[in-house]
């Protein structure tokens, strides 16, 4: 634990926030539902990208009851492009629970909020403070970075004990009358001034005079995070498989990476043209045309897919149920409007659009 006195940041931080806060769609009406949806979307997604998704999402699902009732397929379509689909699945589960246990209103308590699927300390703190003005810190990577630079602390911020320690400290020092503004001020300072990956913009910072990291010239070295393990590499062949103007998609297993989501058919390893020919013959496809779609790469948090794509157009007769029992075949418009494909397949999805355009 460091002994930096965080109380002294309150006043300059709040004055700075009043003048510099970001205009964000969920801030104009910080009701609990909006705060919740925006905070879940903002996990692992940039603010600029979230703006549009948020507006579309709340237009179609304006409250907890609509979210609880939405079909999974539609929910994933609204989430398409944001990635980490488990966040969307948890939103729906939590909404169902809120309908059942809390009469459709998000609970006004940090501890009760944390009982909902997908809501951890950070999100519960954000909802409690911003929507209900309950003094609760919201400690995420941004806040940890700002706090450790202020204190010139070499603590490893990936350790749970360090996060918990900062939560306890800020709980004592945060202003009790403006907890929502305070948490949002720290978020904005971290996003706009005390920025990650490089030099913080200390000259623009309201905490310039009281920042130990800046005074000691070590701010840009902080915070300390041990290097992540290298991602596991996986090679794949991705297929756009077309038959009579419809395209094959496949539902992934209910457990594991991209659980239960639709995907383009794919095979392990990068297949050569000869290997693809053999695979098609094994599936009793005789008459087809094949086109190479090139390589693409997608990084998940722990795995990296290195992909090679083919477009295979089946021309002759083919018993789809018999030879491809795991696939369903959908039109391109359905693919665009109804089925969400994870962004891992975005490169091939756009390639399909380009090819259809060229051929039309
Ligand atoms: Fe971050 Fe610099 Fe401000 Fe310190 S003075 S909080 S390092 S931007």
pLDDT in tens, 280-312: 989 988 899 999 999 999 998 889 999 999 999
Q: Atom 2, ligand 1: which residue's CA is nearest?
A: 202
* 198 CA to centre of ligand 1 in angstroms: 12
- Would residue 39 show up in a list of annotated catalytic residues for this protein? yes
- Confidence at residue 40, expressed as pLDDT on a 0 to 100 scale: 97
Query: Per-residue confidence at 1, pLDDT binned at 50, 70, 90?
Result: very low
Task: Give Cα separations from 66 to 77, 79, 82 (angstroms).
Answer: 15, 15, 20
Q: Which residues line ligand 1 (CB under 6 A)?
A: 146, 149-150, 193-194, 200-202, 205, 207-208, 211, 213-214, 219
356 or 203, which is more confident?
203
356 or 34, which is more confident?
34
pLDDT tens-digit map of 73-113: 999 999 998 988 899 999 999 999 999 999 999 999 999 99
**Residue 121 pLDDT > 60:** yes
Atom index in ligand 1 nearest the CA of residue 149 equals 7
* 14 CA to centre of ligand 1 in angstroms: 15
Question: ∠ at Cα 86 (233, 307), nearest 5°?
Answer: 25
- Confidence at residue 2, expressed as pLDDT on a 0 to 100 scale: 57
- Confidence at residue 336, expressed as pLDDT on a 0 to 100 scale: 87
pLDDT tens-digit map of 162-206: 999 999 999 999 999 999 999 999 999 999 999 998 789 999 999
pLDDT above 90 covers a percentage of the chain that reads 77
Query: Per-residue confidence at 227, pLDDT binned at 50, 70, 90?
Result: confident
Q: What is the DSSP letter of 345?
A: G
Q: Which residue among 207, 216, 218 is best mutated to probe the pocket of ligand 1, counting the most ligand atoms within 8 A of its Cβ?
A: 207
Alpha carbon of residue 322 to chain centroid = 38
- Confidence at residue 8, expressed as pLDDT on a 0 to 100 scale: 97
* 123 CA to centre of ligand 1 in angstroms: 24
Residue among 11, 18, 23, 39 flagged as catalytic: 39
Q: What is the DSSP string of 18-77?
A: HHH----TTTSS--HHHHHHHHHHHTTS-HHHHHHHHHHHHHHS-SHHHHHHS-HHHHHH
Q: What's the average model confidence in pLDDT over 222-232?
A: 90
Rounded to the nearest integer, the mean pLDDT of the chain is 93
* 27 CA to centre of ligand 1 in angstroms: 25
């Amino acid at each position: 634990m460091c002994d930096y006195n965080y109380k002294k940041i309150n006043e300059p931080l709040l004055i700075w926030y009043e003048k510099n806060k970001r205009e964000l769609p969920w801030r104009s009406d910080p009701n609990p539902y909006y705060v919740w949806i925006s905070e879940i979307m903002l996990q692992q997604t940039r603010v600029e990208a979230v703006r549009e998704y948020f507006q579309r999402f709340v237009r179609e699902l304006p409250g907890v009851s609509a979210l609880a009732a939405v079909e999974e397929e539609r929910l994933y379509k609204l989430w398409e492009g944001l990635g980490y689909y488990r966040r969307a699945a948890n939103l729906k589960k939590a909404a169902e629970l809120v309908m059942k246990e809390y009469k459709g209103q998000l609970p006004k308590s940090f501890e009760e909020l944390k009982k909902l699927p997908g809501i951890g300390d950070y999100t519960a703190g954000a909802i409690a403070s911003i929507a209900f003005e309950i003094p609760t810190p919201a400690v995420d990577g941004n806040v940890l970075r700002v706090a450790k630079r202020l204190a010139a602390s070499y603590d490893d911020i990936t350790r749970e004990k360090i996060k918990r320690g900062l939560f306890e400290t800020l709980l004592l020092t945060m202003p009790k009358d403006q907890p929502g503004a305070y948490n949002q001020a720290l978020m904005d300072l971290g996003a706009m001034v005390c920025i990650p990956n490089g030099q913080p913009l200390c000259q623009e910072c309201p905490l310039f005079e009281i920042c130990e990291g800046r005074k000691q010239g070590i701010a840009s070295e902080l915070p300390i995070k041990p290097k992540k393990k290298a991602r596991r590499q996986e090679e794949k062949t991705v297929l756009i498989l077309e038959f009579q103007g419809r395209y094959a998609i496949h539902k992934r297993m209910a457990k594991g990476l991209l659980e239960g989501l639709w995907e383009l058919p794919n095979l392990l390893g990068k297949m050569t043209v000869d290997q693809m020919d053999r695979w098609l013959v094994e599936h009793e496809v005789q008459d087809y045309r094949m086109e190479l779609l090139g390589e693409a790469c997608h990084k998940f948090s722990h795995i990296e897919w290195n992909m090679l794509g083919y477009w295979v157009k089946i021309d002759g007769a083919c018993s789809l149920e018999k030879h491809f029992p795991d696939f369903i075949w959908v039109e391109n418009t359905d693919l665009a409007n109804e089925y969400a494909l994870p962004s891992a397949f975005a490169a091939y999805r756009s390639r399909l659009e380009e090819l259809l355009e060229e051929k039309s």
